[in-house]
A = this chain, B = another copy of it.
Amino acid sequence: MEGRASPTLLDVFSAVDTRASAFLDELMDLVRQPSISSQGIGVAECAQLLLGTMSRSGLSARLLPTHGYPVVFGERHVGNDRPTLLVYGHYDVQPVDPLDAWDSPPFEPVIRDGRIWGRGSSDNKGQHLAQLLAMRTYLYVAGELPINVKVILEGEEESSSPHLAAFVEANAETLRADLVYTSDGPIHESGRATVVLGVRGILYVELRARGANTDVHSGNRGGVVPNPAWTLVDVLHSLRRPDGTVAIDGFYDGVRPIGPLERAALDALPVDVDEFLRGYGLSRLPPPDDWGFFERLMLQPTLNVSGFSSGYGGPGMKTIIPSTATAKLDMRLVADQDPEHVFRCLVEHVRARAPDVEVVRIGAMEPSRTPLDHAYVKLIAEAVAQAHDGQPPLIVPALGGSLPDYVFTRILGLPSILVPYANADQRNHAPNENFAVERFTRGIKTFAAVMEALAR
C-alpha cells in the first residue's frame, strides 16, 4: 500500500537503529581523512577510502578519471526490469580556516550533544555515506536491492566542479539512469524535510571602468579628468527599471512561466515575512513589489551587485579622482535562461551605453528544474514521509542558490531530485561544521525508503 512502509523497510529501519553506533564510526573514519580539493590536501586518499566503503556496501566500485580529481563510481545492477537511480555526492570538503574558531579540530571528529563535529561531516560525507549504508543495510535485510543503483562521488564540488560537465558528457552511457538523486545541504529551518526540484543558475561578471592612468588630486584636476565611478554608476543604473526589474534587452528570454502547480507549491511553503525582515533588521522586501516571497527566491532571476570598488574606502577624507571603478555582478538565473545568452545581452547593453567599460565573464552555471508533476516526485515525497514518522516533506520548486544540477537535467536529460539530510544549523563551509546523529540515521532510512518507493 502506498504511503505505508513495507515489512522489509521496517526491518531495514530497525537494522539501521541497531547499527547506528558502528555507522557513526564509519562516518568518523571518513571525516578523519582530509580532502580539501582547493588546497590539494588528501583528496586522492579519500577517494581510495571510499572505494572500500562502496565495496562493503555491495557495489562494484572503481575510479573514473576526470581532468581533475577522479570520480568514485559504484554500481549494482539488479535487473533490466528495474529502474536505475543515479546518486550524486561529493567527497571533497571546504578549507578549515579560521582554524582557531573550531571547538575541536576539524579532522578529529567527536560526538558531542548528539552531533558529530568535523569538516565534511554534513557537507557531504555524512550525506552520501547515508546512501551507501542504506544499500548495505537493505542488502543485509533483504538479500538484494529493490532497484539498480549507480553512485558518482565527485572530488571537486567545493572548487566549483570545473570538470563535472565534461565528465558527464564523456560518460553519458555509463551514467544512464532514470532519475538522479542528491542529498546535500540542510532541511527546512522548521525541521521539516524537503524535496527539491531545481536550482537557480548563475552568471558572474565584472564591469571595469577606467579613467586616468593614475589616481589624481580632485582639486588640482577636478573638472578636467573624468571619473570612472560616475561611468559605472550610470551604467549600473541603466541595468534596472524603476520598478526593480532588469532593463537588459533579452535578459528574461526563456524564463519558464510560473504555472498553477508552481504557484500552489510556492504557496504551501511556510514563511513569516515580518519575522524574516526583523531578523535581518529590514523594513521591507526589495522591489519589484508584486512578487511573492518564494517566487522572488526560487523562480525569478536576480541582478545583484556583489561588490563595487572605486577610490578611497578608509576613514575620513581622501580627495582623489579614482583611476578605476569595478563592479562585480551576479545574476541568479532560472530555467530556462541561458547564461551565455544573458552574457551577450549584457555586453550589448553596456557597449551601447559605455563602450569603454569592459565586461569580463568570471563564471557561469546553468539553472536546472525538474517538473513538479514528474511521476518520481510523488514517490520520493512518500518515501521521505515514511522515514519521517509519516510527516510529508515540503516540496521546493527550486533552491535560490546554484548547484551543478544542470549536468544531469540539461546534459543527460534526466529528472533530478534533491533530498537534503543535514540539520539546518549544520554550519557547512564554516568552523564547527556538524551533522546531527538523528539526521544521519534519518538519512539512511530515507534512502532505503526511496529505493523501495522507486521499485513500485
Contact = CB atoms under 8 A, between A and B. Distances in A.
A296 B195 CA distance: 63
A48 interface: no
A220 interface: yes
Interface in A195-230: 200, 202, 204, 211-214, 216-227, 229-230
A241 to B, nearest CB: 11
Interface in A282-332: 282, 284-286, 291, 293, 296-297, 300, 302, 304-313, 316-322, 325-326, 328, 330, 332
A319 B363 CA distance: 11
Given A233-B237, A280-B214, A328-B318, A307 B297 contact: no
A310 B304 CA distance: 12
Contact of A305 (B204, B229, B363): B229
A400 interface: yes
Interface string A182-205: 000000000000000000101010
A357 to B, nearest CB: 14
Contacts of A286: 223-227, 230
Nearest to A215: B306
Contacts of A308: 229, 232-233, 308-311, 325
Interface string A25-48: 000000000000000000000000
Contacts of A319: 202, 204, 304, 306, 330
A300 B223 contact: yes
A237 B402 CA distance: 32
Determine which residue in A232, A233, A276, A363 has the highest number of CB atoms from chain B within 10 A of its CB, and name it.
A233
Interface of A: 200, 202, 204, 211-214, 216-227, 229-230, 232-234, 236-237, 240, 276, 280-282, 284-286, 291, 293, 296-297, 300, 302, 304-313, 316-322, 325-326, 328, 330, 332, 362-363, 399-402
10 contacts: A216-B280, A219-B400, A224-B276, A226-B285, A237-B237, A305-B311, A306-B311, A307-B310, A307-B318, A313-B328
